[in-house]
Amino acid sequence: MELPEPTTVAFKVDVDTFVGTRDGIPKLLNTLQRFGIRATFYFSLGPDNSGKAIRRIVKKGFLSKMLRTRAPSMYGVRTMLYGTLLPAPQIGARLPDVIRSVRQAGHEVGIHCWDHVKWHDYLGRFTKQAVAGELNRSAGMFEKIFGFPAKTTAAPGWTVTADSLEIQDSMRLAYSSDSRGTAPFFPVMDGRRFTTLQIPSTWPTMDELLGENGITLDTINDQYLAFLKPGLNVHTIHAELEGNALNSTFVDLLTRLTSRNVRFITLAEAADEFAANAPACSLKMGTIEGRAMPVALQG
């Protein structure tokens, strides 16, 4: 008789900004420690050019999303000006101790990016050399901070190209987490099969769900519990949100998940468990509800 598959949750923590690194990380470490949960953190290691994301206002859909999620009140006014009226602070160079504290607290660590805004807005127009430059700078800063090379990456905004997957293949990673989908897989993009395992995020983020179909902070965790399925669930959270204005809602989610006998693992542990049976699946950029820019979708 086959035993029922345990319900497993892995938290992927994206850290996008200087303030999210400085203030959001300590708060999230505290929250996760209270529940005895280990997560996988992905760091932005170069300049915080968040102010330039204002350029996206002119692109379809972004303004309404920004107003809906009240980005200025969630991210803070300074962050909205970094890289424009205020100089872009160098995150890895200025906050190495905060970044190191994540590993010291027992969590897994990986590369999110060098320049989040640049990758997210322009990856499709980068030369292969420019993609390699972003990943090399990130890898150099990661190794300088931790003293060992990164074993995992997660692309900003789930934005990939065949070039970025090819360069990640050359980095000897254990896996990457760049996509949205249902279960771990080996990506096939533009007719090429890549060798780095993809562990997709399986749940929508809080900022995608809020405001859709009348979902509010009071009902959003009912929605997350409804997403919970046997096998691996991967939830992406942000140091800027769950480590700041949305922290109490996240604490409520953890309280409800722990009361349901959910097993928590890191993405590295998920890679170990699920790689052997991972199929090859297509990976394409496409749109999803609640997000203005396209994301990499498992086919």
In the complex, what is the shortest distance from the CB of residue 15 to Zn ion, in angstroms, rounded to a whole number? 8
In the complex, what is the shortest distance from the CB of residue 91 to Zn ion, in angstroms, rounded to a whole number? 12
Contact positions toward Zn ion, by CB under 5 A? Answer: 14, 16, 156
For 159, phi then psi, to 5°, come to -110, 120
In the complex, what is the shortest distance from the CB of residue 140 to Zn ion, in angstroms, rounded to a whole number? 20
Q: Which is nearer to Zn ion, 156 or 200 (CB)?
A: 156
* Nearest CA among 83, 87, 89, 102 for reference residue 43: 102
In the complex, what is the shortest distance from the CB of residue 154 to Zn ion, in angstroms, rounded to a whole number? 8
In the complex, what is the shortest distance from the CB of residue 14 to Zn ion, in angstroms, rounded to a whole number? 4
In the complex, what is the shortest distance from the CB of residue 156 to Zn ion, in angstroms, rounded to a whole number? 5
CA distance 196 to 165: 8
Q: Which is nearer to Zn ion, 8 or 297 (CB)?
A: 297
Secondary structure string (H, E, C) spanning the chain: CCCCCCEEEEEEEEECCHHHHHHHHHHHHHHHHHHCCCCEEEEECCECCHHHHHHHHHCCCHHHHHHHHCHHHHHCHHHHHECCCECCCEHHHHCHHHHHHHHHCCCEEEEEECCHHHHHHHHHHCCHHHHHHHHHHHHHHHHHHHCCCCCEECCHHHCCCHHHHHHHHHCCCCEECCCECCCCEEEEECCEECCCCECCECCCCHHHHCCHHHCCCCCHHHHHHHHCCCEEEEEEEECCHHHHHCHHHHHHHHHHHHCCCCEECCHHHHHHHHCCCCCEEEEEEECCCCCCCCEEEEC
Q: Which is nearer to Zn ion, 16 or 163 (CB)?
A: 16
Q: Which is nearer to Zn ion, 46 or 156 (CB)?
A: 156
Q: Which is nearer to Zn ion, 21 or 202 (CB)?
A: 21
Look up tokens 């990939």; give the residue: 160
In the complex, what is the shortest distance from the CB of residue 98 to Zn ion, in angstroms, rounded to a whole number? 17
CA distance 199 to 203: 12
158 Rama class: left (phi>0) / alpha (psi -120 to 50) / beta = left
In the complex, what is the shortest distance from the CB of residue 181 to Zn ion, in angstroms, rounded to a whole number? 18
Q: Which is nearer to Zn ion, 76 or 156 (CB)?
A: 156
Q: Which is nearer to Zn ion, 232 or 295 (CB)?
A: 295
Q: Which is nearer to Zn ion, 163 or 207 (CB)?
A: 207
